[in-house]
Amino acid sequence: MKSLRLGIVCIVCAAGVLSSSTAGKHPTPKVDPSKLIPFNELGDNQYRDGFKGGFYPDVAATQSPSFAGDAPKPVRIASGVSGHIHPAASISKKGTIVVIFGQSDMKDLRVTRSTDRGETWTKPEPFEPSAKQAIYPGSLTTLSDGRIVHAWNVWYNDDKKKSRYVQFSISTDEGKTWSEPKSLPKNPAAESIIRHPLVELGPKSWLLPLADQTVVYDPDTEKLPPFSDGKKHGLVPIVRTPKGTFVSGIGLRSTDGARSWDKIAPFPKIAAQGWRHEMIALSNGWLLASDIDGEGVGGGTRLAFVVSKDEGRTWDFKNALEFYNPGRPVGGRACPRTIELDAKTLGTVFYDVDPKQPGGPGVFFLRTPLTQFTTADAGAKKPPLVKVDSSKLVPLNELGDNEYKDGFKGGFYPDGKNERPRAHEDAGLKLARQVEPRNAEGKPDPQGKIVLLSIGMSNTSQASQGFQKALVSAKDVNPRLVFVNGAVGGMTASRIQDPRKPDGVKYWAEVDQRLEKAGVSRAQVQAIWIKEADAGPKEGFPGYAKKLEGELTNIVQLLPARFPNARLVYLSSRTYGGYATSPLNPEPYAYESAFAVKWLIERQIKGEVGLTFDASKGEARAPWLSWGPYLWANGEKKRADGFSYESADFTANDGTHLTPSGMSKVGRLMLQFFQTDTTTRPWFVAEKK
């Protein structure tokens, strides 16, 4: 999964600083600052002389949500949104971006505009043509003559039915004002809905992909004949490439003006929830489709693009570009809508209604450079994934004293055993008893927090999300415990092992931001869970496992300086890689990553100086290390404890990342570990009263 890069410049204003050369010569008059309000909290209120607060024009100042890796941060357009928000977007011939969205459920459409490529936005104002209607959001389209068409959906008076009809309004002044609404021919028995931009076939010929029919509308005569062969495509996007190829969101393609269609397989998963997904045709001939994990409300955790560079014939699922991943469910359907800002840049509007994010639920705009996509042709031959037979692999803890290969035996700990050696166990118990609530300065405080932090890449983030969901329903968790998902998409072991290099700087800065957003500090982190790997390993065994072991060593050795109270670190190896369809981290590398964890912990148990955790024996170079939850299972073959995976637990595009079912499964496994391990129970489980 690729990540986005953005250079950031920070300018800090300083006031009241007196140089030594002027000190004492010009006394500063005293003023009463007691009534001054922080600029971001002043918001739309006036400071003096008509000047208002807020960081941005006409928009309440809030922090942007977390983002994937080093991606550009989204700009908040609106706050306090709820219900069917479903934004629409278009860009005028003069470069004005227009966005319309639902402020609250079934009513109150709002319109906002940006004239600086999405950097700042006007205050969202009611969309007057629909002000007195019960509505369902629709779409925006810029016509070839510069007019902008906004189409939306209106409920019939009988609210017991789902039937709706389509209205539209036109703006000739960059979205500032709109014409009186005009309705398409009505049919109360039909659920006629529009959610995607129309396709302008000609000045008086608009292709409308409606839920109940696919038609061509003449705005002058108001006639509504079927599109071409009369096929009903449903509520999915239909696009036309610069070469005239039509591509339908149900996975069909036509090169003869839609007189006949060819099936595209595989094809992005658009049709199942067509109102939610999108597909656009770019001026360079590429097609982009949205890729959102999770289904329906609360399911989406990451937003990505899948690209086709050959008129929709094939799609590059292996290089899907993740452009938004806050490390948690967004709480809604996201419903991204993307426009082409110029030949090099995309702009996407979407919503995130997680109430716990800074600023609460909101609508956001994010720019994505097209340079983030691979420049290779989608149809070019790529190195095939070398599939190996993993059917005979045995979970490390069940392998025990038996040999895997080349003399390397199983078991979590030395001598093929799965229990920590007595001395290491006792040391862990002693440290576990020292874990207690601490304040932001790290001092013991009964009202403080115990922070458990996760560290890793996208798979780790997904597992963390599953763990977070499991924590919600868990009844015996210590109320002082705060779990922070510090895992970031694309941040593999090789990238985060050195905090001085650019990738390391970005990753650890993001971890700090997530701690801050959770209302905790580094000094409150007392336990850490690490799950790491590298992308595209090629070193074989034991080469890759040794390489990963070295990277994990560097990671655990940098923890004491960053998190001075983190005494306990739990490590996990990869989930199953046998369903992988890409060389990201397939079998047997996923299985063999366990040896990296095993060897690292064994080195500490044997007393390696560079991994010393006991300060009484010298400088602590690392926290106490132990196995965390073991996440590998051989596909559908059940482990001794009954744990297994199904192909449905992994995404179809790469067979490596987890689906919601996989996240939940791993999350429950993690919860079970932290509830039962002897070194976690003292601080993870609530005391019985």
Output the DSSP codes for 293-337.
Answer: -S-STTT---EEEEEESSTTS---GGG-EEEE--SS--SS----E
Q: How large is the average pLDDT for residues 260-267?
A: 94
Cα distances from 652 to residues 97, 310, 314, 318, 656, in angstroms, run: 34, 21, 15, 10, 9
Cα distances from 486 to residues 181, 196, 460, 508, 525, in angstroms, run: 48, 36, 9, 9, 11
Radius of gyration for the alpha carbons in the chain, expressed in angstroms and rounded: 28
Residue 472, helix vs strand vs coil:
helix
Segment 345-397, tens digit of pLDDT: 999 999 998 888 888 999 999 998 887 664 333 344 445 677 889 999 999 99
What percent of the chain shows pLDDT beyond 70? 85
Paired tokens of 535 = 């992308």
Is 502's pLDDT higher than 60? yes
pLDDT of residue 384: 65
pLDDT of residue 16: 35
Segment 189-209, tens digit of pLDDT: 888 999 999 999 998 899 999
Between 146 and 329, name the one with better pLDDT: 146
Is 63's pLDDT higher than 80? no
Paired tokens of 620 = 């602590």
pLDDT of residue 15: 35
Q: Where are the alpha helices (DSSP H) in 409-492?
A: 422-432, 458-473
Provide the 8-state DSSP code for 638: -
* Rounded Cα distance, 16 and 4, in Å: 38
pLDDT of residue 146: 95
Is 420's pLDDT higher than 50? yes
Q: How large is the average pLDDT for residues 85-103?
A: 95
Is 81's pLDDT higher than 50? yes
Segment 273-305, tens digit of pLDDT: 888 899 999 999 999 999 887 655 545 567 889
Assign 28 a pLDDT band (cuts: 50, 70, 90). very low
Amino acid at 398: E
pLDDT of residue 273: 85
pLDDT of residue 605: 97
276 within 8 A of 295, measured Cβ to Cβ:
no
Q: How large is the average pLDDT for residues 239-253?
A: 94
| Kind plus residue range of the DSSP H or E element containing 113 | strand 107-114
Between 566 and 614, name the one with better pLDDT: 566
Segment 572-607, tens digit of pLDDT: 999 999 999 989 999 999 999 999 999 999 999 999
User: ω before 682 within 30° of 0 (cis)?
Assistant: no
β-sheet bridge partners, residue 168: 151, 182
* Rounded Cα distance, 348 and 644, in Å: 38
Between 616 and 11, name the one with better pLDDT: 616
Assign 53 a pLDDT band (cuts: 50, 70, 90). low
pLDDT of residue 156: 84
Is 677's pLDDT higher than 90? yes
What percent of the chain shows pLDDT beyond 90? 68
77 within 8 A of 349, measured Cβ to Cβ:
yes
Segment 466-492, tens digit of pLDDT: 999 999 999 899 999 999 999 998 899
Cα distances from 126 to residues 99, 112, 131, 147, in angstroms, run: 12, 9, 7, 20
CA atoms lying within 13 Å on the CB side of residue 468? 19
Q: How large is the average pLDDT for residues 60-75?
A: 47
Least reliable range by pLDDT among 35-44, 394-403, 557-566, 665-674: 35-44
* Rounded Cα distance, 42 and 79, in Å: 16
Global pTM exceeds 0.85 = no
Our CA angle for 151, 259, 216, nearest 5°, is 20
Nearest to 656 by CA among 539, 525, 535: 535
pLDDT of residue 276: 87
Paired tokens of 236 = 């999915």
β-sheet bridge partners, residue 253: 247, 262
Residue 41, helix vs strand vs coil:
helix
Q: Which domains does the chain have, with CATH numbers?
A: 75-370 (2.120.10.10), 396-684 (3.40.50.1110)
pLDDT of residue 94: 93
Segment 503-554, tens digit of pLDDT: 999 999 999 999 999 999 999 999 999 999 999 999 999 999 999 999 999 9
Assign 562 a pLDDT band (cuts: 50, 70, 90). very high
Output the DSSP codes for 18-38.
Answer: --TTTTTTSPPPP---TT---
Between 107 and 196, name the one with better pLDDT: 196
β-sheet bridge partners, residue 48: 51
Amino acid at 3: S
Assign 428 a pLDDT band (cuts: 50, 70, 90). very high
- From the number of C-beta atoms within 10 Å of its C-beta (0-12, 13-18, 19+), residue 292 rates as buried
Q: What is the mean pLDDT of the chain?
A: 86
| Kind plus residue range of the DSSP H or E element containing 661 | helix 660-676
* Rounded Cα distance, 591 and 405, in Å: 13
Q: How large is the average pLDDT for residues 626-655?
A: 94
* Rounded Cα distance, 216 and 193, in Å: 15
* Rounded Cα distance, 661 and 652, in Å: 13
pLDDT of residue 688: 79
Contacts with 37 (C-beta within 8 Å, 6 or more apart), sequence order: 45, 53
Paired tokens of 505 = 């700087």
Dihedral angle, C-alpha 314, 199, 366, 297, nearest 10 °:
-80
For the chain, what percentages of helix, strand and coil (3-state, to nearest 5) are there? 20, 25, 55
Between 52 and 346, name the one with better pLDDT: 346
Our CA angle for 458, 668, 466, nearest 5°, is 30
Q: Where are the alpha helices (DSSP H) in 474-542?
A: 493-496, 502-517
Provide the 8-state DSSP code for 493: H
